[in-house]
Amino acid sequence: MSAVTEEQVLDALRKVQDPELHRDVVSLGMIEGLRVDGGTVSLTLNLTTPACPLRAEMEAQVRAAAQGVPGVGEVKVKMAAHIPATRLAGQGDVMKGVKNIVAVASGKGGVGKTTVAVNLAVTLASSGARVGLLDADIYGPTVPVMMGVRERPGAVENMIVPPAAHGVKVISLGFYYKDDTPLVWRGPMVAGAVKQLLTQVEWGDLDYLIVDLPPGTGDASLTLAQTVPLGGVVVVTTPQEASLNIATKALAMFRKLNVPVLGIVENMSYFVCPHCGERTDIFSEGGGRRAAKALDAQFLGEIPIYPKIREQSDAGQPVSAAAPDSPESAAFKEIAFRVAGMVSIVAYESSR
């Protein structure tokens, strides 16, 4: 039998598609360092995010495709990730070391926006990405407490240097408030404060910057969308009708601002009895999923009410960091990986 060639292996790999980008892994440039040595094939599969929801499946497909070439014995696949950056039309050079900026928004307050932002950031960081978390909720900044950040921000040449916790760089106006400061902000001040947070922080190189917005569709959201190249927004809601209705309004606003809506997360969806394991739908079931469908948005997942989520948050130990193998963390992981997948799609399309 004649020797296996690289061309034969590449041809076989062309039949493997990225399930989200719907193109083959060869033309997407995901195959690197292909070598054929006798019957042994070695290659690196470069995904668009280390938090790839279908990582194992893609690896298996690539392996099977190479193995299908007659004469191939062993296939060595190394997994890596090259995260593409999102730059939509008209977006300049602001924060150019930051590849993807993802806002977490909600219509109503208290739906778990910060909880989602924090666990999203921690999960992406533990998957191997470089992650920052910007608390743009200037009215009630709770990120420093939930992340348990002990250090204060530093300063270098007029730039703020963010401290890190759980592998995530964190900035919040909460670092600068005293406990009893009344947070009275007027429109232009809000815009100024948010702009400062956005432009005067030395993030370094980041794959993802997660931005926790104040609830609603006020000045902070507007300023954010107008100041930085926003790669997308995740809308958090609870299953109640009222919350869903307001989430719909928030979603419409971001669409109007040309911010890609990455999808909807439903938080506090149901309660699982810690003793018997029975699920109780406290509100009507499936509201977030239905709303996503009606709005033509992706449903990113649901998070049950788990007392542990609140306890860990209060203690500055996000559950994704404190108990990464718990069912609580699994719910966040599923969502984080879906978000990363959606970001890859937006980034890929923005580069075309």
Ligand X SMILES: Nc1ncnc2c1ncn2[C@@H]1O[C@H](COP(=O)(O)OP(=O)(O)OP(=O)(O)O)[C@@H](O)[C@H]1O
Residues near ligand X (CB under 6 A): 106, 109-115, 137, 140, 142, 215, 267-268, 303, 305-306, 309-310, 313
* CB distance 194 to 224 below 8 Å: yes
b/e sequence 315-350, b meaning 16+ C-beta within 10 Å: ebbbbbbbebebebbebbbbbbbbbbbbbbbbbbeb
State the minimum distance, in angstroms, from the CB of residue 92 to ligand X: 30
Of 165, 139, 141, the C-alpha closest to 153 is 165
Is 26 or 305 the residue whose CB approaches ligand X more closely?
305
Is 137 or 207 the residue whose CB approaches ligand X more closely?
137
State the minimum distance, in angstroms, from the CB of residue 345 to Mg ion: 27
* CB distance 23 to 13 below 8 Å: no
State the minimum distance, in angstroms, from the CB of residue 216 to ligand X: 9
* CB distance 144 to 191 below 8 Å: no
User: What does 317 interact with, of ligand X, Mg ion, none (CB < 5 to 8 A by kind)?
Assistant: none
Relative to beta strand 206-212, strand 98-106 is parallel
Q: Which of 86, 100, 114, 127 binds Mg ion (CB under 5 A)?
A: 114
How many residues are listed for the chain in this entry?
A: 352
Is 201 or 236 the residue whose CB approaches Mg ion more closely?
236
Q: Which stretch binds Mg ion (CB under 5 A): 114-122, 179-187, 228-236, 308-316?
A: 114-122
Of 171, 300, 282, 173, the C-alpha closest to 233 is 300
> DSSP 3-state assignment of 147?
helix
**Alpha helices, DSSP H only, in the chain?**
6-13, 55-67, 113-126, 143-147, 187-199, 219-227, 241-256, 287-294, 307-314, 319-322, 327-350
State the minimum distance, in angstroms, from the CB of residue 9 to Mg ion: 50
Q: Which stretch binds Mg ion (CB under 5 A): 105-113, 144-152, 293-301, 303-311?
A: 105-113
b/e sequence 5-18, b meaning 16+ C-beta within 10 Å: eeebbbebbeebeb
Q: In this structure, what are the phi and psi dihedrals at residue 331, rounded to the nearest 5 degrees?
A: -65, -45
Using Cβ positions, the residue closest to Mg ion within the complex turns out to be: 114
User: What does 97 interact with, of Mg ion, ligand X, none (CB < 5 to 8 A by kind)?
Assistant: none
- CA 156/CA 192 separation, integer angstroms: 21
Largest separation between any pair of C-alpha atoms in the chain: 80
Using Cβ positions, the residue closest to ligand X within the complex turns out to be: 109
Q: Which stretch binds Mg ion (CB under 5 A): 12-20, 59-67, 108-116, 279-287?
A: 108-116
State the minimum distance, in angstroms, from the CB of residue 114 to ligand X: 3
State the minimum distance, in angstroms, from the CB of residue 187 to ligand X: 19
User: What does 174 interact with, of Mg ion, ligand X, none (CB < 5 to 8 A by kind)?
Assistant: none
Q: In this structure, what are the phi and psi dihedrals at residue 321, rounded to the nearest 5 degrees?
A: -95, -40
User: What does 106 interact with, of Mg ion, ligand X, none (CB < 5 to 8 A by kind)?
Assistant: ligand X
Is 140 or 286 the residue whose CB approaches ligand X more closely?
140
Q: Which stretch binds Mg ion (CB under 5 A): 72-80, 111-119, 178-186, 294-302?
A: 111-119
Q: What is the CA radius of gyration of the chain?
A: 22
State the minimum distance, in angstroms, from the CB of residue 214 to ligand X: 7
Q: Which stretch binds Mg ion (CB under 5 A): 96-104, 113-121, 182-190, 248-256?
A: 113-121
Residues at the interface with Mg ion (CB under 5 A):
113-114
